[in-house]
Amino acid sequence: MSETAQETTAAQEARLRAIVEEVIAGTPHFIVEVRVRGRKGARVVEVFLDSDGPLGVDELARLSREIGFLLDVEELFDGRYHLNVSSPGLDRPLSLPRQYRKNVGRLLRVRYRAGDAVHSLQGKLKSADDDGIEIDTGRRTLRISFGDIEEAKVQLPW
């Protein structure tokens, strides 16, 4: 991708983020990620949202309509685009402290750095704050800062 195309995509993603923030203002919802892919006339616009409360299909559909309307009004993209508004799903890694707080009490698999080594563990997420998490492996409780976490995913109980 050329530097100009990268700059255009970055500017579009920044504007998209602002539009989504406007739509979700005053709700328990928050942005996990926004992404613009493809080329003119074949863009894919992805918005991943999460929430401190339930975020069902009907609510995602409503948010998608509002976001799509504002994108069309502002003519952010030349030509056609496909808008996908969804929740991140359990297969995507956690990325924000707010997501960790939402999943306290659940089983996580965490890959993290300690010194020069990378470790992996699975345990129950005991707590999460703005700096890191506390995870109970059954043998010990470990504190891991967000800066040391390489990847963390919620594990399904089956």
Domain ranges of the chain: 3-86, 97-154
Tell me: pLDDT of 60 over 90.
Answer: yes
Tell me: pLDDT of 37 over 70.
Answer: yes
CATH number for the region 3-86 comes to: 3.30.70.1350
CATH of 97-154, one of 3.40.50.720, 3.40.47.10, 1.10.15.40, 2.30.30.100: 2.30.30.100
Tell me: pLDDT of 3 over 60.
Answer: no
Q: What is the pTM of this model?
A: 0.81
Q: 91-148 pLDDT, tens per residue?
A: 889 999 999 999 999 999 999 999 999 999 999 999 999 999 999 999 999 999 999 9
Q: 94-103 pLDDT, tens per residue?
A: 999 999 999 9
The residues that bridge with 43 in the sheet, in sequence order, are: 81
DSSP per residue over 101-151, as a string? Answer: HHTTTSEEEEEEEETTEEEEEEEEEEEE-SSEEEEE-SS-EEEEEGGGEEE
In the block, residue with structure tokens 């109970």: 136
Mean pLDDT of the chain: 92
Q: 78-95 pLDDT, tens per residue?
A: 889 999 999 988 788 999
Task: Count CB neighbours of 83 within 10 A.
Answer: 17
